[in-house]
Amino acid sequence: MAYGKDAWKNVKKEQPIGVFDSGLGGVSVLRELVSLLPAEDFIYFGDAAHAPYGERTEREIRALTTAQVDRMAAEGVKAVVLACNTATSAACAPLRRRYRQMPIIGMEPALKPAILSREKPRVVVMATHATLRQKKFARLVARFKDAGEIVKLPCPEIVEFVERGEIHSRALHEYLEERFSSVLQTPVDCVVLGCTHFPFVREAIREVVGQDVQIFDGAAGTARELKRRLREADALQESGQKGAIEWLSSSSDPNYVERLKRLYAL
């Protein structure tokens, strides 16, 4: 399947934007997108049937992500946001080659703003195993390794806590305390949330790391990049009534879409 040059010429500003995640986490990105682009229509798809992506192989993640982006492209979206760091790491580059004329916007851990926030900071990057082991992340670390200390902290179970709706539970707090126990023996300046599920437990993370630690995530930067790309392509919807959101999921749970909506409304 190709989203060719001729197809792009026929793209209309009122066509929706696809937002894809492995489950609930991408809702944190969707909120930033809607805030910055209120006139746009969005289609959100959470692939809960195959979550969590963070424990899958790169090949599996790429295949799952590609299948859903293909479906969104066939339905006529004008751009796709991969609202998942793991899916971005595994599939963004090949998807951009596959859909050369359609903006494919990915996520990247907000390491740059964290590193630049102060002189030689100690930065903890929380993410899934899949994100932390990808070459894309290794290149990002190599770029900033001399500007501060970068500590990788895999926290894959947070995805499952969020998917279960446990964003304030005692079990979550104990899990975070355990994961940070060795890291916090040396003062930490910044924490980077390298998974779109993690902003939903920001409050719990704050309780563990303390009030003086800055917390960064990449959702706002992703929204700004989408807006830039749409404007560049003269495909930005800037006027008219407030846009709509269509909610879709692969989950067998009949209440999953309602869970997406409730999380969005938090």
> pTM of the full predicted structure?
0.93
Q: Residues 6 or more apart from 185 whose CB is under 8 A from it?
A: none
Which residues participate in catalysis according to the annotation?
84, 195
Confidence at residue 9, expressed as pLDDT on a 0 to 100 scale: 57
The predicted pLDDT at position 3 comes to 44
For the chain (length 266 residues), average pLDDT per consecutive 10? Answer: 48 94 97 98 97 92 97 95 96 95 94 97 96 93 97 96 95 98 97 98 98 97 96 90 96 96 94
CA atoms within 13 A on the CB side of 47: 26
Write out the chain in H/E/C secondary structure: CCCCHHHHHCCCCCCCEEEEECCCCCHHHHHHHHHHCCCCCEEEEECHHHCCHHHCCHHHHHHHHHHHHHHHHHCCCCEEEECCHHHHHHHHHHHHHHCCCCCEECCCCCHHHHHCCCCCCEEEEEECHHHHHCHHHHHHHHHHCCCCEEEEEECCHHHHHHHCCCCCCHHHHHHHHHHHCCHHHCCCCEEEECCCCHHHHHHHHHHHHCCCCEEEECHHHHHHHHHHHHHHCCCCCCCCCCCCEEEEECCCCCCHHHHHHHHHHC
Determine the pLDDT at residue 6: 46
Give residue 18's pLDDT.
Answer: 98
